[in-house]
Amino acid sequence: MEKHKTFTVALCGNPNSGKTTLFNSLTGSHQRVGNYGGVTVETKEGICRYNNYRFRIVDLPGTYSLSAYSIEEIVTRDYLLHEKPDVVINVTDGTNLERNLYLTVQLRELAVPMVIALNMADEMDKRGLQVNLEVLSQDFGAPVVPTVGTRDLGMKELLDKVIEVGTGRWSGHDNPPIRYGDAIETELQKISQMIEDSRNSLPNGQAAGAKPATLIDSPKWLAIKLLENDQNIVQHLQQTHLWDSLSEQVQYSQKYLNSLFGEDPETIIAEQRYGFVRGVCRSVIRLTAEVRANYSDKIDLILTNRLLGLPIFAVMMYLTFWLVFTVGEYPMGWIESGIGHLAARLNEVWPAGQWQTLQSLLTDGVIAGVGGVIVFLPNIMLLFLALAMLEDTGYMARAAFIMDRMMKWVGLHGKSFIPMLTGFGCSVPGILGTRVLDNQRDRLTTMLVLPLMSCGARLTIYMLIIPAFFSGPRAALVMYAIYIIGILVAVLCARLLRSTLFQGETSPFVLELPPYRIPTFKAVVLHMWQRSWAYLQKAGTIILLMSILMWALTSFPKPSADKLASLTSRQTAEYQLQHSFAGRIGRTIEPVLKPMGFDWKIGTALIGAFAAKELFVSQMGIVYSLAEENPDTDQAQDTTEPLRRQLKANYSPLTGFCIMLFCLIATPCMATVAVTRRESGKWSWAMFQFWGLTLIAWILTTLVFQLGSLLRLGTS
């Protein structure tokens, strides 16, 4: 019986073909869907059940082709070659069939079991595009199912076909692969024959005439790739014994075809594939109505207009900031009072004088720590809402289009702008997003300077400090200045890196500008929710643990009672903290911090901020609420406002600014270091980033503090 059988189904398609939306429709696990090319850089998985079958759905990166040009293409091809999914769903954008089917041709060459999803069927109707499904199915030897990913339409029919193909019951057409014309076919035959012969003559290893274990062993496919000069395959074959004789034949064939066509074989092969696709499109597409003037083009006339483009871009960015900061203030207030209320209630119901360590742990460790983080959740949710809107409408790609000239000047790619912008939310997804860059130098440069984009977690620090020292228009000005400084330092660092470590041309800027689309409410809200939930989880696990650890560091070891006997209650608290682990570490590094105007308390909080930048706030909270602890008063109120008062009483505005400046530039958080390590592939890059940024931060902050003190700027 085939009941409960599990199929592995891979989704494969061009960027912007709606592949991820389709994935969401199938699995119900809602992921990031963007209009920007290559948002899905990692393979994602989801489970789907239908008709007693179980489907493991794998969302592969969006690619235009299966050559080894970018990381996405290599990932996709390797997955298809080595993991061998039971069925591949080729997601195509029906409104842009000609280019989308180029990938379909290559999938057919790979001879994978395939179902073609003709996506965006609703938009095709609107444009009066009719496709003859039967003929299209014949031409590619695969079933074709019209779908609308955004409205969950066609999913049952799609899965029905997946089952048919997966169980081998699909009775459709089994077409021979496309032919490249006699001249090329003859050369392909020669090369594949050589591969075949040398394999058969192998004394051991692959048995003679055995079926190829993977497609890499399929002689015809290898021959095509060799003629195309596919570096990935060349490297693969260079390690085998047949390379010497083979490379000679390949070079000969390439030369011969070059002289015959006046072009290299890779061009001829691409042209042949497109020729085939064009033929298919001619026979299957029928235009039933005159296409109206494209609404997307009209929008673009304004949004990327030569005169209006940049001002509109600036306004977009301003609106984003306004949404995040100004609108976000209201829910922040509600959450703050809620948390204060919670801590107060807890102290109220606590049996007096009992389990005081636990009480302190809960109010000072847990509530002060996590509470101080949750307070800023509205900012983060709104930021991700804005980013989701920018991505899903298609404006993000235009942002890259508009900004490319400037980014190129910095030594980066227009595509770098998107990960950099994401960095304002959080460096971690930003660094992951650098995978959209094809060129390793561009990727590393972007990755290394990305933490200078002030992230949402650092916003928690600014939101604590700015109201404490700056009011009115100056508050907004300081906030703006901090962000600008981050960008300027990033520009300088990027230029420096490009002219030293990463010399060379910037990578090509071939960027698709997808049509503007109205984002679905569901997609945007889910996107926002997912990102915020990820932040909360981080806050809920790492930050809670770190808060408790830091509470312990600031609470223990306890000084002996006789030492405290002669001190007032305030002095007692101070002494206790100085005596604790944190105080000792803070004191140890104080000489290094002093030139920046920091005391050991700030040093203690900075230690905690390595775990996650937002921890600086809860650290300061704990440091100060412990230092000022007085058991007779109800100290468990809103923790942010009293902390601001403490800051104001203890530090000058200059020091406040220096704290922000240092936190902006220095020591990316634990998670950033970990992700940089993973994405760059080397610990040395992560360490280079960590110490490099910390050193720059120290130098800059020291300069600002010393100059500021000298000129008496903000010292009172």
Partner 1 sequence: MTHEKNLNDLAPGTEGIILRIRNTSPIKKRLLEMGLIKGETIHKVKLAPLADPAEYIVKGYHVSLRREEARDVLLEP
Residue numbers at the binding site for partner 1 (CB under 8 A): 64-65, 67, 69, 95-96, 98-99, 102, 263-264, 266-267, 270-271, 274, 297, 300, 304-307, 309-310, 400-402, 404-406, 408, 414, 505, 508-515
Query: Look-up: residue for tokens 């070659």?
Result: 81
Residue 444, by phi and psi: left (phi above 0), alpha (psi -120 to 50) or beta?
alpha
CB of 80 to partner 1, least distance (A): 17
Which residue number, 98 or 185, has a Cβ lying nearer to partner 1? 98
Which residue number, 469 or 502, has a Cβ lying nearer to partner 1? 502
CB of 92 to partner 1, least distance (A): 13
Which residue number, 75 or 589, has a Cβ lying nearer to partner 1? 75
Residue 118, beta-bridge partner list: 92, 146
CB of 224 to partner 1, least distance (A): 14
Question: Under 8 Å CB-to-CB from 422, ≥6 apart: which residues?
Answer: 387, 429, 430, 433
CB of 93 to partner 1, least distance (A): 9
CB of 102 to partner 1, least distance (A): 7
CB of 321 to partner 1, least distance (A): 21
Cα–Cα distance, 538 to 543 (Å, whole number): 7
- Please check whether residue 105 is in contact with residue 273, taking contact to mean a CB–CB distance below 8 angstroms: yes
Which residue number, 402 or 432, has a Cβ lying nearer to partner 1? 402
Residue 90, beta-bridge partner list: 12, 116
- Please check whether residue 461 is in contact with residue 613, taking contact to mean a CB–CB distance below 8 angstroms: yes
The four Cα atoms 336, 341, 346, 352 give a dihedral, to 10 degrees, of: 120
CB of 262 to partner 1, least distance (A): 9
| DSSP state, residue 372 | H
Cα–Cα distance, 107 to 53 (Å, whole number): 25
Query: Look-up: residue for tokens 């000069």?
Result: 229
Which residue number, 166 or 394, has a Cβ lying nearer to partner 1? 394
Q: Regarding beta strands 53-59 and 144-146, do their DSSP bridges make them parallel or antiparallel, or are they unpaired?
A: unpaired
Smallest Cα–Cα separation from 380: which of 530, 541, 545? 530
Q: Which residues of 414-423 are buried (b: 16+ CB within 10 A; e: fewer)?
A: bbbbbbbbbb
Secondary structure element (H or E) that encloses residue 47, with its range: strand 44-50
Smallest Cα–Cα separation from 543: which of 598, 618, 595, 441? 618
CB of 110 to partner 1, least distance (A): 15
CB of 264 to partner 1, least distance (A): 7
Cα–Cα distance, 76 to 435 (Å, whole number): 14
Query: Per residue, what are the HEC states of 598-648?
Result: CCHHHHHHHHHHCCCCCHHHHHHHHHHHHHCCCCCCCCCCCCHHHHHHHHH
Which residue number, 68 or 163, has a Cβ lying nearer to partner 1? 68
Q: How far is CA 429 from the centre of its chain?
A: 4
CB of 439 to partner 1, least distance (A): 10
The values of phi and psi at residue 117, to 5°, are: -95, 115
Residue 53, beta-bridge partner list: 50
Which residue number, 259 or 471, has a Cβ lying nearer to partner 1? 259
Which residue number, 93 or 336, has a Cβ lying nearer to partner 1? 93
Which residue number, 106 or 580, has a Cβ lying nearer to partner 1? 106
Do you know the residue count of the chain?
716
Which residue number, 83 or 297, has a Cβ lying nearer to partner 1? 297
Which residue number, 34 or 456, has a Cβ lying nearer to partner 1? 34
Question: Under 8 Å CB-to-CB from 128, ≥6 apart: which residues?
Answer: 287, 288, 289, 290, 291
Q: Please give the single-letter amino acid code of residue 291.
A: V
CB of 175 to partner 1, least distance (A): 22
